[in-house]
Amino acid sequence: MKHLCLNLKRFDVPAEAGGVNRLSSPDLWAETIVSRVKEELAAYEGKARFPMYFPEAHLIGAVREAGDSKVIEAGCQGVYRQDVAPGGNFGAYTTNRPAAAMKALGVKSTIIGHCEERNDLSGVLAEAGVTDTAAVSRILNQEVKCAVNNGLTVTFCIGEKAEERENWQEVLSAQLSEGLKDIDCSNVVIAYEPVWAIGPGKTPPGADVIRPIAQFIKEKTNGLPVVYGGGLKQDNAEMLASIPEIDGGLIALTRFTGEIGFYPEEYLDIIKIYLEHCSE
């Protein structure tokens, strides 16, 4: 089974407001995306699953439009580290996103530990004078537990920064051991993000770099699925598909020049290229 994850970040903001949304009005954005891809994705049933991580405001529309799809999983962008519980906290979590609330909305999947989330947590901790990187992983561990306890599938992101490349094995091993401690990982997928290679002007890694890292992650996790989190695109889909240890990828923007943004037809093209060339 391949795992083709879509992280839509804040791509709902209209272009005239500084965003990249040229698809529809924001109130219909999620429905527009799902409606334009669900028929084509249905053809891949049994071969791939397609979690789609929407900003929270769009989850109801995404869930409604996905309907009873067997391949599309409407997902949220993380869950809070604490949760609603019978006889416990009934939902007094202003500004936060409890996993139980997401489950009740019909959400099936979540992404946790993305480098942007790790950076945010690190920044908050730094304001309190905490520079222990393991503290971030301990918080993420609580989030993963809440998600798993509610039956959500989890895409758990790990990755090393430029200054950590020389000891990447130690960094990734710590993120895995702390982040997945005491968790049933039967519904967990690992996304490897080469943080040092993400962003304009940076050189993305090739198969010679990605494959040994994917092998290392599989060894450390007893064979959990590993997807490439540095951006599955049209120009690297065939290369990533050729790596036996890579089980999919994380897609975000589909167009990086001109009218930059996410375009459903280009997303489908990435999926097609990858699945036509992937190793089984």
Those residues with Cβ within 8 angstroms of residue 153's Cβ, 6 or more apart along the chain or in another chain? 51, 73, 75, 108, 109, 110, 187, 188, 189
Active site residues: 114, 193
In this structure, is residue 274 part of a structural domain?
no
CA-only gyration radius of the chain, Å: 18
d(CA 4, CA 238): 14
What's the N-to-C CA distance of the chain in angstroms? 9
* pLDDT score at 278: 83
In this structure, is residue 279 part of a structural domain?
no
The 10s digit of each residue's pLDDT in 115-136 is: 999 999 999 999 999 988 899 9
In this structure, is residue 250 part of a structural domain?
yes
* pLDDT score at 202: 81
239 three-state secondary structure = helix
Domain that holds residue 197: 2-254
Question: Mean pLDDT, the chain, as a whole number?
Answer: 96
Beta bridge mates, 6: 52, 251
Q: What is the pTM of this model?
A: 0.96
| Residue in 225, 229, 234, 230 with CA at minimum distance from that of residue 188 | 225
For the chain, how many structural domains are there in total?
1
The 10s digit of each residue's pLDDT in 51-77 is: 999 999 999 999 999 999 999 999 999
In this structure, is residue 273 part of a structural domain?
no
* pLDDT score at 280: 55
Mean pLDDT throughout 70-87?
96
In this structure, is residue 260 part of a structural domain?
no
| Residue in 177, 194, 152, 133 with CA at minimum distance from that of residue 53 | 152
Residue type, 81: R
Beta bridge mates, 226: 190
User: What CATH number did the domain enclosing 13 receive?
Assistant: 3.20.20.70
In this structure, is residue 275 part of a structural domain?
no
* pLDDT score at 279: 60
- Asked if residue 103 has pLDDT above 70, the reply is yes
In this structure, is residue 36 part of a structural domain?
yes
Neighbours of 17 (CB within 10 A): 8
* pLDDT score at 200: 76
The 10s digit of each residue's pLDDT in 150-203 is: 999 999 999 999 999 999 999 999 999 999 999 999 999 999 999 999 877 788
The 10s digit of each residue's pLDDT in 197-243 is: 987 778 889 999 999 999 999 999 999 999 999 999 999 999 999 99
